[in-house]
Amino acid sequence: MPSYIGRLKKSQIEELFKNHVSSGKVRVFTSFGMDFIFGKREGIYVYDVETGKELINCHCNGGVFNLGHRNPEIVNTLKDALNELDIGNHHLISEQRALLAKKMADLMPPGITYTVFGVGGGEAVDLAIKIARAYTKRPKIISAKGGYHGHTGFALATGDEKYKKPFEPLAPGFVQVPFNDIESLEKAVDSETAAVIFETVPATLGIYVPDKEFFKGVREICNRKGALMIIDEVQTGLGRTGKLWGIEHFGVVPDIIVVGKGLSGGIYPISATSFKAELESVFHNDPFIHVSTFGGAELGCVVAMKVLEISSSPEFLKHVNDIAEFFKRELDKLKDEYSDVISEIRQLGMMMGIKMKNELLCMYMVKACYESGLLCIYANNDPSVLQFLPPLIIKEYEAEEVIRRLDRALSMVSKIA
């Protein structure tokens, strides 16, 4: 049997990566003492390719590994599919895409009945914006300051200046407002606005959980002014918040929902742009106006069907909420114990963030977590917040171990505060 892990020494991997992939990433991670390279990975754990150092993955690549690494149900589903399927042809009618789209329609909020599949979240966001502009015949797109929707075309244009500046000029017509600020949104939405796009809980902004009434206000403004409401569920979807879709917590139905990351099961890349039936008219004159060669690959559709089956089950969602309650209790205790370094715990289900007293402490916390056996990162648009996103399949005894390791890390940071 061939082995794909450990064929090269770690130093050789780093040299090849530096010379042919990204010299900057190698420089950053080696200088920070976190030159961890995935070797064996299984469930909630990942291991360094050479040293075998164990980390519990509390980053999960933003939700890609909601169901853990190499989830046996997902792996076996793909293996079985390989006996009959390949990628398929995106130009033609597809049984697998039809079945997956029907499953999405069954699970989406009422009225969202069509889905077009892509490969990544940025591509799915791009399509959502294309649909909004084509349907409304308006140019303006409003997003949140500090939000993040991807690094591709229109998705990049919704983001902050630091992401956009090196690639200007970008497409015009994009405006940002503060998140969770209904008055600013009211002023920004006008007769030229095609859509408002927000993440349900902006992860890159520091797991910012909005006020309970915020999205009702967004829906009302969009209705009144004829704009579409796009919700980005790339990170919050598929059970992360304790409901299948994060927007369910807020009692509104958007016009378009974007799904990605976890839909892949960490095994086969696939994303989705799901929308209300009337918006499908955008494709009536020319159904080939948007295509994606690998979007909705038939192998990926089978994987996504299994992901949806697992993630939507009442037993699974109950487990997520039970573990979320455990983390809430334990994180509150840690906040009290380490009040010198923690200022706030942010949480909606298993979408969690630990806000440190300042950015420097959070940088130390990332390294302390690594030394203590946890993989965590800070939020790029609010570096004072440690993103805390354990796999949703984590068992309680494993969650207890996460808390023990987190306690060790906080103890280390507290000593230098």
Closest CA to 217 of 174, 237, 187: 187
Question: Which residue carries 């329609």 as its tokens?
Answer: 105
- Of the pLDDT bands very low, low, confident and very high (cuts 50, 70, 90), residue 417 is confident
Q: What is the pLDDT of residues 199-240, one digit of tens each?
A: 999 999 999 999 999 999 999 999 999 999 999 999 999 999
- Segment 174-193 shows an average pLDDT of 98
Pinpoint the alpha helices (H) of 284-395.
298-311, 314-337, 359-372
- Segment 358-368 shows an average pLDDT of 97
- Of the pLDDT bands very low, low, confident and very high (cuts 50, 70, 90), residue 340 is very high
d(CA 199, CA 161): 18
Q: Which two tokens stand for residue 226?
A: 């004829």
Distances (CA, A) of 86 to 185, 220, 239, 292, 296: 45, 44, 28, 16, 11
- Of the pLDDT bands very low, low, confident and very high (cuts 50, 70, 90), residue 1 is low
Q: What is the pLDDT of residue 170?
A: 86
**Which residue type does 200 have?**
T
* Three-class secondary structure of residue 343 per DSSP: strand
Q: What is the pLDDT of residues 2-42, one digit of tens each?
A: 689 999 999 999 999 999 999 999 999 999 999 999 999 99
- Strands 193-199 and 140-144 come out as parallel
With a cut of 90, say whether residue 171 has pLDDT above it.
Answer: no
In order of their start, the domains of the chain are: 94-283+292-311 (3.40.640.10)
Does residue 372 contact residue 405 with C-beta atoms inside 8 Å? yes
- What are the b/e assignments for 145-169, b being 16+ CB within 10 Å? bbbbbbebbbbbbbbbeebbeeeee
Q: What is the pLDDT of residues 100-120, one digit of tens each?
A: 999 999 999 999 999 999 999
- Of the pLDDT bands very low, low, confident and very high (cuts 50, 70, 90), residue 255 is very high
Q: What is the pLDDT of residues 68-83, one digit of tens each?
A: 999 999 999 999 999 9
d(CA 144, CA 198): 6
d(CA 276, CA 114): 6
d(CA 74, CA 67): 9
Q: Which two tokens stand for residue 197?
A: 């796009």
Q: Which two tokens stand for residue 182?
A: 């209904």
Closest CA to 104 of 237, 218, 219, 196: 237
User: In this structure, how many other beta carbons lie within 10 angstroms of the beta carbon of residue 54?
Assistant: 11
d(CA 285, CA 300): 28
Q: In what order do the strands lie in the sheet with 342-348?
A: 342-348, 351-356, 382-388, 377-379
Q: What is the pLDDT of residue 236?
A: 98
